[in-house]
Chains A and B, each alone.
Chain A
Amino acid sequence: MKRKETSGLYKKVRLSWRGCFFCLLGLAVFSLFHCSRGSAERGVIVAGSTSIQPFADRWAEIYMKIHPGEVVDVQGGGSSAGIQAAREGSADIGMSSRELKQEEKDLAEVVVAWDGLAVIVHPRNRIDGLTVTELQAVFLGKIRNWKEIGGDDHLITVVSREEGSGTRGAFQEMVMKKNRISPEAIVQNSNGTVREIVSHDPNSLGYISLGLVDSSVKALKLDGIHPDYENIKKRAYKLIRPFLFVIKGAPKPGAQSFIDFVLSADGQALIKEEGLIPALEQEKERIS
């Protein structure tokens, strides 16, 4: 009885080997096909900030539906990598979720949207708001306990982003100014994992892109101002950053028409739908 079972198992294993082989074969054929297609008509490559990537994906999807035959390829990699890719020509459009540094100003930039940075805590946290000064002190490591800012007697679990991320760069610039974020802060390398940690740890505090705030976390008021659409549009909420498309020299026709679409009423409507703030009229003219 026992023997029979094992031999049956072996048969199954061998069968699945054959299955694997065919899968691999299929995959190889598919990738060959894919490659040859890609090289035949290299589309517009958009690369950079992972904060902008989800929106760029949506734009590309709709754009390709409106313009059949055109291909827009959206890749991640991060703001700095995107800017570098635009400079080196490996991407037609770089995406940056932070302002360009002085030495990067030789590239043309266009604001495609505005994003707020939300400071988030666990939904059960008693605190509803902080001042920017308090927020800075928390990230400096000077305030360590929630009771110092009106909460329960618990140590604060500070969650930050990794060095080089656009979100961290924006937070550094707007909140920390010249001061360093405490090295004892927990570091995660995506908005999603920061939100994940904050939604499970009742004593934690982090910052993420406003577009990614959902009901699992609570966004705090800063200096008494709630981070909502109206307050960001009025520029009353202070933690806002531009989402930039970065181009070197004159964009090629495909890239230009994609940017035009993104800045069109349709493209901007999508941004609003996703909880971001559309670019202002005068900002759209910085390019072309």
Chain B
Amino acid sequence: MTRLERSEKLIRLALLVIACSAVSVLIIITIFIFAQGTPILFKYGVKQFLFGQDWYPGEKSFGLLPMIIGSLYVTLGALVVGVPFGLACAITLTEFSSRRISRTIKPLIELLAGIPSVVYGFIGVVILVPFIRDTFGGPGLSVLSASVILGIMILPTIISISMDSIQALPRTYREGSIALGATRWQTVRLVLLPAARSGIIASIILGMGRAIGETMAVIMIAGNAAAIPRSILAPVRTLTSNIALEMGYASGEHRQALFATGVILFIIIMVLNTAANFTSRKKKR
């Protein structure tokens, strides 16, 4: 073996170790959460955790249904707000604006992703919550306010990944479509969007992941009532905020129940991601 080959081999080995260590962290986290959370899940029954509506850990009542539904509502709300805006923005910047404008605006949008979530929460508390309270009534801390703020928070993810996937399409698609007499909007709607679909769906999945996992901003603006919200103006508690709200004071079984919340959150995210991945792959064919 020459020296060059040996060093090549060494580098390959080092890279493999680095790659494995990243994965092993994921495995360790998974094992830890499940080891801490599953004993209590089985002690009181998975059914109570998944379908129970009362969350009173002090009285050994661990119903997580309001939080599960809360997480789904808020994530769905964020997509309803974020996806149309994000897609429209991505289309405008790639197809309907000059290169110079889109080159200045895109970095600014990516800057949005760097703002800490507590700042979004603060803006929500100071501006959005009073606005909703005064215009629509209710306490203001609500599904609606959380959805709007989360919708804004997922914008950079959706915009930049959608833009990249639209820009990556071959020039010939556009040229061919225009040559056939299609207008620019027809080109976008009938050629570019379908062709970039997998990238766009990926951006939505990533945005969804961010929305369902967001904690700090949601705690600040969602009101955190552990009941299934009756309307979009009612307060809501998500799985993540349930953990973060009570972790500081929890001990014993209460603490374990919060880990069980983590287990359920973990499973929900896995299911959502796999389902979304699966549908996007199926449609491509």
By a beta-carbon cutoff of 8 Å, the part of chain A in contact with chain B is: 50, 76-81, 84, 155, 157, 162-166, 180, 182-189, 193, 196-197, 200-201, 203-204
| Inter-chain contact A164/B249, CB cutoff 8 Å | yes
| Inter-chain contact A80/B251, CB cutoff 8 Å | yes
A84-B251 contact, Cβ under 8 Å, with A186-B224, A197-B141: yes
Total contacting residues, chain B, CB less than 8 A: 33
| Inter-chain contact B249/A78, CB cutoff 8 Å | yes
Expressed in whole angstroms, the Cα–Cα distance for A188 and B125 within the complex equals 13
| Inter-chain contact B66/A164, CB cutoff 8 Å | no
| Inter-chain contact A164/B227, CB cutoff 8 Å | no
Most buried by A among B55, B235, B249: B249
- CB nearest neighbor in B for A48: B249
A189-B225 contact, Cβ under 8 Å, with A163-B58, A197-B141, A201-B140: no
| Inter-chain contact A162/B57, CB cutoff 8 Å | no
A164-B57 contact, Cβ under 8 Å, with A183-B66, A189-B219, A201-B139: yes
B147 → A minimal CB distance (Å): 17
| Inter-chain contact A81/B249, CB cutoff 8 Å | yes
For the complex of A and B, 4 pairs with smallest distance between CB atoms: A164-B249, A78-B249, A183-B227, A187-B224
A202 → B minimal CB distance (Å): 9
Most buried by B among A50, A79, A182, A200: A200
Give B108-144 interface residues, CB cut-off 8 Å to A. 125, 130, 133, 137-141
- CB nearest neighbor in B for A204: B139
Expressed in whole angstroms, the Cα–Cα distance for A163 and B247 within the complex equals 10
Q: Does B223 lie at the interface of the complex (its beta carbon under 8 Å from any beta carbon of A)?
A: yes
Contacts of B251 in A (CB 8 A): 80-81, 84, 164
- CB nearest neighbor in B for A180: B56
A87 → B minimal CB distance (Å): 10
Q: Does B248 lie at the interface of the complex (its beta carbon under 8 Å from any beta carbon of A)?
A: yes
Expressed in whole angstroms, the Cα–Cα distance for A165 and B254 within the complex equals 12
A164 → B minimal CB distance (Å): 3
Contacts of A80 in B (CB 8 A): 249-251
Give B57-75 interface residues, CB cut-off 8 Å to A. 57-59, 66
| Inter-chain contact B141/A186, CB cutoff 8 Å | yes
A211 → B minimal CB distance (Å): 19
For the residues of B in contact with A, the DSSP-based class is loop
- CB nearest neighbor in A for B57: A163
- CB nearest neighbor in A for B59: A180
Show 25 A/B contacts (Cβ-Cβ < 8 Å), sorted by A. A80-B251, A84-B251, A155-B137, A162-B224, A163-B58, A164-B57, A164-B58, A164-B254, A166-B249, A180-B54, A180-B56, A183-B53, A183-B225, A183-B227, A184-B225, A184-B227, A184-B235, A186-B139, A186-B224, A187-B223, A187-B226, A188-B224, A200-B130, A201-B139, A203-B139
Q: Does B246 lie at the interface of the complex (its beta carbon under 8 Å from any beta carbon of A)?
A: yes
| Inter-chain contact B227/A189, CB cutoff 8 Å | no
A186-B248 contact, Cβ under 8 Å, with A163-B55, A200-B130: no
| Inter-chain contact A183/B54, CB cutoff 8 Å | yes
| Inter-chain contact B141/A163, CB cutoff 8 Å | no
A254 → B minimal CB distance (Å): 26
Contacts of B139 in A (CB 8 A): 157, 186, 197, 201, 203-204
4 more A-B residue pairs beyond the given contacts A164-B58, A186-B224, A201-B139, with a C-beta to C-beta distance below 8 A: A78-B248, A163-B254, A165-B249, A201-B140
Contacts of A187 in B (CB 8 A): 223-226, 237, 245
A164-B250 contact, Cβ under 8 Å, with A185-B225, A189-B245, A200-B130: yes
A79-B249 contact, Cβ under 8 Å, with A163-B56, A186-B139: yes
- CB nearest neighbor in B for A183: B227
Expressed in whole angstroms, the Cα–Cα distance for A79 and B248 within the complex equals 9
Contacts of A204 in B (CB 8 A): 139
| Inter-chain contact B248/A77, CB cutoff 8 Å | yes
A121 → B minimal CB distance (Å): 14
Contacts of B125 in A (CB 8 A): 196
Contacts of B249 in A (CB 8 A): 77-81, 162-166
Contacts of B250 in A (CB 8 A): 80, 163-164
